[in-house]
Structure formats: structure tokens, C-alpha cells
Amino acid sequence: EVQLVQSGPEVKKPGESLRISCKGSGYTFSDHWVAWVRLMPGKGLEWMGIIYPGDSETKYSPSFQGQVTFSVDKSKNTAYLQWGSLRASDTALYYCARRGEYYDTGRGYFFPLDSWGQGTLVTVSS
Amino acid sequence: AIQMTQSPSSLSASVGDRVIITCRASRPIDNNLDWYQQKPGKAPQLLIYASSNLHSGVPARFSGTGSDTDFTLTINGLQPDDFATYYCLQDYSYPNTFGQGTKLEIK
């Protein structure tokens, strides 16, 4: 069974750094991109970006480029989302999700987010 | 970035109703459109990928259609478990982008 298990909730002060984690199991971790998605209070889902564990290639949404850093440790089957200096506006629920790979005869390959972590709540407050 | 315009933003319906949610892409995305369901306090779950393919384990009352710029999610015969927030996501090009979400509430 494919599973993504995220680290627990965090309470931080503005300016502090933070790294949260997402551990994959039940599949070959290196073979599937891992996406990060933000859900701010009262808002909708936002696609932050994606990382390929095989070679650490990353794609950031322009809205998050320079604000966060994605990384992986293949030996631990774990992806990370990191902030160097948190702001109150970073308060949100953060999800990781596996990008699956599905073949549709006649239409080719498709790559939905087919398995999600349980989410990590990050609260930034002075 | 491709913008996804989802409507309506909220919807009230009754058990047994048929509900349609739409997503429009700001430029053609072929069939690279997924639908997700999110319940309060839970992670999103994949319902439909490639515009019309039902993900494993998803009830057949959910269906999706569309291509290029216009897409729909239809729920036939609403069940109590279906009251949730629904999102479309284009995975045609980076950055991938979600629609704003549709909150489906009980009438």
C-alpha cells in the first residue's frame, strides 16, 4: 500500500527556520515525483511545486520560488519542505503528494496526485 | 501560468440530486485535468484523472468530461458522504494550478 506520512505539527516564531518531512512507503520512492500543496485557513489548495527524488530536480511555482526549498533523502525515502525565515503568512496546512503514472490506451500517460500525506500544520506566531 | 476558473464556488444540494461543477482553463490543456475531493480535516483524494478516468475505488456516480479548456465533474445521485470541497487541477504544464474549489453543502 502506497503511503505518505508527514511530520507532526509545528509552532514557530517569525524569523525562525523550519523543515518538515514526508516519508514514502509501499512504492519505489525514487521513481515518483513528490508535490507540495498549501492550504491556508479559509482558502483553497495551492500547488507549491514538485521534486523528483531520483535526481532532486525541482519545479517551483513562481509564487513560492525563493520562499521555500524542496529536498529529498533517498536513503530515507523522505522528502522535505524547508523555510529559512518563517513569516506569519506561512501559517497553513502543508500536504505532500505522490505524482502517480497512469497509461491510458490511445491517450498516453497521465500524472495525477494519487496518494497524499495527512498534512502538517505549521503555525507561525509571535 | 495557466489559470483555472472553477464554478460555482459553493453549491447547496440534496441527497439524490445531480450536481455539476465546471473548470475552465485559460489556455488548452488537452485532457490533463484531475478532480479531487477534500473533506474537513482530511487530505484531498483523487477522484478523476485525465479528465474522465475514474480513480480506483471511486464510486461510479462520479464522472468527468471535457478537453482543451472546458471540463465538468458530475455527481449523479448525491450521497451524504459526498458533501465536501472539490478542486480541479491542471497538470499539463508547470506550474500546475488548482481551481479555487467548490464547497458542496447539504440543502
Nearest CA in chain A to B34: A112
DSSP three-state, residue B80 = helix
Count of other CB atoms within 10 angstroms of residue A69: 16
Residues 6 or more apart in contact with residue A111 via CB below 8 angstroms: A33, A99, A100, A101, A102, B91
**Contact between chains at B50 and A112 (C-beta distance less than 8 A):** yes
Does A106 have pLDDT greater than 90?
Answer: no
**Contact between chains at A104 and B46 (C-beta distance less than 8 A):** no
Task: Compute chain A's Rg from CA coordinates.
Answer: 15
**Contact between chains at A113 and B44 (C-beta distance less than 8 A):** yes
Query: Above pLDDT 70, what percent of chain B?
Result: 100
Kindly report the nearest CA distance between residue A17 and chain B, in angstroms.
Answer: 25
Q: What residues does B4 pair with on adjacent strands?
A: B25
**Contact between chains at B50 and A110 (C-beta distance less than 8 A):** yes
pLDDT tens digit sequence for A51-69: 999 999 999 999 999 999 9
What values do phi and psi take at A91, rounded to 5?
Answer: -60, 120
Does B87 have pLDDT greater than 90?
Answer: yes
Please give the pLDDT value at position A19.
98
Closest-CA residue to A47 (of A33, A34, A32, A36): A36
Band the pLDDT of B97: cuts 50, 70, 90. very high
How much is the mean pLDDT over chain A? Answer: 97
Q: Which site among B49, B73, B104 would you substitute to test the A interface, given the most A Cβ atoms closer than 10 Å to its Cβ?
A: B49
Band the pLDDT of A125: cuts 50, 70, 90. very high
pLDDT tens digit sequence for B23-52: 999 999 999 999 999 999 999 999 999 999
**Contact between chains at B97 and A47 (C-beta distance less than 8 A):** yes
CB of B100 closer than 8 Å to CB of B9: yes
Question: How far is residue A29 from each of residues A63, A114, A124, measured CA to CA in Å?
Answer: 27, 14, 30
Please give the pLDDT value at position B73.
98
β-sheet with A3-6: strand ranges across: A3-6, A18-25, A78-83, A69-73
Band the pLDDT of B86: cuts 50, 70, 90. very high
pLDDT tens digit sequence for A2-51: 999 999 999 999 999 999 999 999 999 999 999 999 999 999 999 999 99
Nearest CA in chain B to A108: B50
Please give the pLDDT value at position B62.
98
Does A98 have pLDDT greater than 90?
Answer: yes
**Contact between chains at B49 and A114 (C-beta distance less than 8 A):** yes
Q: Does B45 touch chain A (CB under 8 A)?
A: yes
Q: Mean per-residue pLDDT for B60-68? A: 98
**Contact between chains at B49 and A97 (C-beta distance less than 8 A):** no
DSSP characters over chain A = --EEEE---EEE-TT--EEEEEEEESS-GGGS-EEEEEE-TTS-EEEEEEEETTTTEEEE-TTTBTTBEEEEEGGGTEEEEEESS--GGG-EEEEEEEE--EEETTTEEE--EEEE---EEEEE--
CB pairs under 8 A between A and B: 76
SS percent in chain B: helix, strand, coil, step 5: 5, 50, 45
**Residues of A with CB below 8 A from B36's CB?**
45, 113
**Residues of B with CB below 8 A from A99's CB?**
91
Does A105 have pLDDT greater than 90?
Answer: no
